[in-house]
Amino acid sequence: MGYSAASTARTVFFSLLTVTVILYLFGYTFVMEAAPSDWVGQEPSVWHFLCSLRSNENPAVSFATFYICFPLLLTCFAGFLWIALRRTDREATS
């Protein structure tokens, strides 16, 4: 088997997807659903830190996430649009 751009793209896509899913599961499980202080008892510093990452507890984190992720989302959209237009143009000329 030789080099295939499709298999490379597929590997990159699934790698990024796997990392995204792991980050999402960590964020939802340990940040949004972190145990409240009355469950933990002494409230260890780890739980205190994870609870401080909640958007309603720390609006600055929410704004930082928005300012980082929104341009990334727009960049992905522009890239996908560019690829789609390039493919459409290539198919129209052939």
Q: What is the pLDDT of residues 24-56, one digit of tens each?
A: 888 777 767 666 666 666 666 777 777 777 777
What are the CA-CA distances from residue 58 to residues 32, 48, 50, 68 (Å)?
12, 12, 11, 16
- pLDDT, mean over the chain: 78
End-to-end CA distance of the chain: 28
Rounded to two decimals, the pTM is: 0.50
Instruction: State the pLDDT confidence band at 74, using cuts at 50, 70 and 90.
Output: very high
Rounded to whole angstroms, the Cα distance separating 93 from 88 reads 9
44 and 6 housed in the same domain: yes
| pLDDT at residue 13 is higher than 70 | yes
Which has more confidence, 37 or 85? 85
What range does the domain containing 71 cover?
58-94
64 and 38 housed in the same domain: no
Q: How many domains does one find in the chain?
A: 2
Rounded to whole angstroms, the Cα distance separating 1 from 30 reads 43
